Structure 1
Amino acid sequence: MTTVMQMKCACPHCLCIVNLSDSVMKDGRAFCGDACANGHPPGSSGCGHTGCGCYS
């Protein structure tokens, strides 16, 4: 049996790998932060993680 501990952020434009233990969960999916989890609402920018070009 294998336990998954990390996965790619569920935001399709994000490159981040998140630890499931400290991810932002929304609708059963794991996101790297609030901006990604909320669909990058107007006024928000990228996820803010170094090296990720998600909506930046």
Structure 2
Amino acid sequence: MASVDVEMAKCACEDCVCVVALSKAVTRDGKAYCCDECADGHKDHAGCEHAGCTCHG
């Protein structure tokens, strides 16, 4: 069986459409997020500010 290294993942924020490199992800509770805003649950309803993404928690 061949091993597979996963290097990219969708941000764990449900509304977010971003894909993040796991080596650069913000990790909280074992989940990978594209930024602190998503990882913190959009406490101030700030979006991730990545082009084309409209998440605000």
TM-score by length of 1: 0.92
* 1:52 has 2:53 as partner: yes
Looking at structure 2, the residues matched to 2 and 15 of structure 1 have their Cα atoms a distance apart, in angstroms, of 23
> Which is greater in Rg?
2
Stretches of structure 1 lacking an aligned partner (at least 5 in a row): none
Stretches of structure 2 lacking an aligned partner (at least 5 in a row): none
Looking at structure 2, the residues matched to 25 and 44 of structure 1 have their Cα atoms a distance apart, in angstroms, of 19
Query: What's 1:8 paired with?
Result: 10
TM-score by length of 2: 0.90
Percent sequence identity over aligned pairs: 48
> Where does structure 1 differ by over 2 angstroms across 4 or more consecutive aligned residues?
none
